[in-house]
Amino acid sequence: MTRNIREEDHREIIRVVDDWWGGRRMSGMLPRLFFRREIS
């Protein structure tokens, strides 16, 4: 099951994203703004 990403997901994903990438420091490339969805 999948769902759209939410701003609340940022903290949990940042915690593990470097491990997903084999230890590469990727967390700095994933700003909270990426998780925000503007609805007009």
- What integer best gives the mean pLDDT of the chain? 89
**Residue 16 has what pLDDT?**
96
Q: What residue numbers bound the domain in which 3 lies?
A: 1-40
Residue 15 vs residue 37, higher pLDDT: 15
pLDDT for 28 beyond 70: yes
Domain count for the chain: 1
List C-alpha distances in Å: 11 to 3, 5, 14, 16, 27.
17, 12, 5, 9, 10
CA angle 5, 35, 29 (to 5 degrees): 120
Instruction: For residue 5, give the DSSP letter.
Output: -
- The gap from C-alpha 18 to its chain's centroid, in whole angstroms, comes to 11
Question: pTM score, two decimals?
Answer: 0.67
Distance CA 12, CA 10 (A): 6
- Residue 39: pLDDT band (50, 70, 90) is low
**Residue 12 has what pLDDT?**
94
